[in-house]
Structure 1
């Protein structure tokens, strides 16, 4: 059954336009890291100050555009849940007749399931991002515009109390409601962003010499959000004997919901010397917040009624060769915030890369690690390459990611495919 839930989550997500998660590293930034890398037009997505130095030759004018598709999934706190449901709950429900002992066994097993997996969840986010960049000495910096259509789906197990189940006849159970549920949320976020980075020129002291840049991003956000809970007591009542209802049968217009809009402000700054650099960026300074449409069961089970993107500050440091083809980057988040599905995030990251514009047939290579210091606590390995205009990046918490997801071990993976053109 839990595998069906994962499939349902994927289908709910794919039924809408794909999207990229807010402030997760996007496209080649997965491998390059969240700091400035002149090898990609996506660098300005991580820090508006990067608009000023986001050029392969560093100086002069530059035009760039891209299109990136990305999908990621995480499983947390649900290991073994599929087998438990199939072997200890579904086998009883599928019987053609029931005994008092069947009712007792079903009650014990169901309560044990929601005790063991309370708070466990499946988190799926997918996306498309399209950045456009213009950099020129004439404006003493760079301007970028990007549009993102974001969609996320989260399925979670919720327990408030124990269920009571009794056999009312040889063919039926009676199950109390309001005790345990499966929660499903779907969030769709349209984002229009305008970003500008200004080059303040060189800053020098007797010991330090480097260029200073700063920038700002204004984002117009429109969110459609829906949260629904499926009462598991009702699910048992509806799936006895030859009766059968899928999860999708309980979900009513889940891809529509409450719509609201807000504006978000990001500020960033960077200092870049010949062989190293420092950066700081603050996201969501005004804490944009959105209402979530909830059905009666979602309200009863206490599912969130608002989604707020709390402020986040990220520090970064780079080491690189003078031509900036070889780079080592690191970053750390100072605050805890939420992803599109309301899961807690606070990341650290380190990455190494080689990028060159000498010939299209010489691939750029990037690899690294990143970890979530809260929430799932997962650590990811990142690997990516660029060949000509094509970017491919992978991120996984395990070399055995397929086996881990099949057994529902805590795990996560992301794949990103995109193109970019640089003039």
Structure 2
């Protein structure tokens, strides 16, 4: 077996899943200033309209804004399993040997049996990314329209490489170690086209209420496959195997989604709410683990491996973008509204396309410059109350009111090949203009 690391495996999965280095869909990596601010309708950034469709109408001034390039965002998440990649690499080498004696076999089983169970629970690598089509989001606000119209187009994808564990067994007749353990790769590519319209619906001396609606067309290509470790030929490149299996196990579907939002804007604060995916759009994964007799070679082995784990993975799955309610608020301590303290909360839990649950809390603050020469800066704290339950800190800056750069990382770490890394991290950069 050629030396393989799970970091390479994740990179291969990422390449298979989003060749465009991009993303779309709910509960994936945030992009632009939203990586730091969270789901807040922050003034001065066109990307706010991707969240609350009323955000464009609630902007400080009429005119138009658009993103020249990006924002582009990339991120990863690792399971809480130290030295996951190193240990699995060693196991792959062992599974390729045919000269293992009784005594060595027992030592190998003693070493790996507990690790495999841990890897089955926490061993995974998740990668995702996002990119806007150039010049989007494009936001136009004037009196003729009676409000604000925006267009955004995104492409992208997400992948999760996890481990399906099965006990090791010694075959004394062939002097080999055998196992049904497998790698489970799940992900998809997305294209998202959204058009939103927002306008003021109520004006009082204390402030103005804005409402908006966003219609989104999603096109998804979802894939999942199980790779039986025991049956990967030593002369084959696992990256090629993943690519071939991805292409052979994809399903394309499309649907429309509907988002609605409201935003109350007063002189020194704002409050808002967004109900996303009001109509619960659905997308189908390909069926796996069936008609295995029609296949041959590694593809048949992978099919049979999927059927073997049919009680632990969903062989016939539909992804539903369940409705999600998000509330937000921001306080501007000074009349200039250049300084902001903000927060957002997902009221209910939803799953991302690969099935991981999310329910985000974000608390943030920052300075939004009104001058081309003054840099903007922001900082935030984020917690996922579901699934991984990870805590993130994030920092961001805006230079010349055009270039945005944001980074986020977790407070938890994990050992990878002897070095410590954040369990999850993300970076986003882009260019946008306002006139």
Give the shorter-chain TM-score range: 0.7 to 0.9
2:343 is equivalent to residue 338 of structure 1: no
Task: Tell me the residue number matched to 1:222.
Answer: 219
Task: Tell me the residue number matched to 1:102.
Answer: 104
Task: Tell me the residue number matched to 2:299.
Answer: none
Q: Is the 8 A contact 2:76 2:126 kept in 1?
A: yes
Q: Is the 8 A contact 2:24 2:191 kept in 1?
A: no
376, 382, 385: which is aligned to 2:394?
A: 382
Structure 1 distance, partners of 2:47, 2:418, is: 33
2:22 is equivalent to residue 18 of structure 1: yes
3-state DSSP of counterpart to 1:12:
helix
3-state DSSP of counterpart to 1:287:
coil
Structure 2 distance, partners of 1:408, 1:94, is: 29
Shift of the alpha carbon at 1:63? 4.0
Which residues of structure 1 form unaligned runs of 5+? none
> CA 1:350–1:187 in 2, change beyond 3 Å: closer, same or farther?
same
Moved over 6 A (4+): 403-406
2:142 is equivalent to residue 136 of structure 1: yes
Task: Tell me the residue number matched to 1:155.
Answer: 161
Deviations 1:229-271 (A, max 9, x none): 0123435xx4xxxx45443243224156100111111111111
Structure 2 distance, partners of 1:356, 1:326, is: 9
2:319 is equivalent to residue 319 of structure 1: no
Which residues of structure 2 form unaligned runs of 5+? 290-302
227, 238, 256: which is aligned to 1:247?
A: 238
Structure 2 distance, partners of 1:108, 1:21, is: 43
Number of aligned pairs?
402
2:382 is equivalent to residue 370 of structure 1: yes
Shift of the alpha carbon at 1:341? 2.7
> CA 1:322–1:5 in 2, change beyond 3 Å: closer, same or farther?
same
Shift of the alpha carbon at 1:107? 4.1
> CA 1:374–1:281 in 2, change beyond 3 Å: closer, same or farther?
same
Task: Tell me the residue number matched to 1:73.
Answer: 76
Greater displacement, 346-355 / 91-100: 91-100
Structure 2 distance, partners of 1:385, 1:374, is: 29
Q: Is the 8 A contact 1:258 1:292 kept in 2?
A: yes
Greater displacement, 189-198 / 303-312: 303-312
Task: Tell me the residue number matched to 1:117.
Answer: 119
2:167 is equivalent to residue 175 of structure 1: no
265, 283, 286: which is aligned to 2:279?
A: 286
> CA 1:265–1:276 in 2, change beyond 3 Å: closer, same or farther?
same
Task: Tell me the residue number matched to 1:395.
Answer: 408
1:172-321 alignment, distance < 5 Å = 172-173=175-176, 175=178, 177=180, 180-203=181-204, 209-235=206-232, 238=233, 243-251=234-242, 252-255=244-247, 257-296=250-289, 297=303, 298-302=306-310, 303-304=313-314, 305-320=317-332, 321=334
Greater displacement, 299-308 / 328-337: 299-308
Q: Is the 8 A contact 2:403 2:431 kept in 1?
A: yes
TM-score when normalising by structure 1: 0.87
3-state DSSP of counterpart to 2:118:
helix
TM-score when normalising by structure 2: 0.85
> CA 1:270–1:381 in 2, change beyond 3 Å: closer, same or farther?
same
Deviations 1:147-179 (A, max 9, x none): 1112111101123x534331323xx526354xx
Q: Is the 8 A contact 1:330 1:349 kept in 2?
A: yes
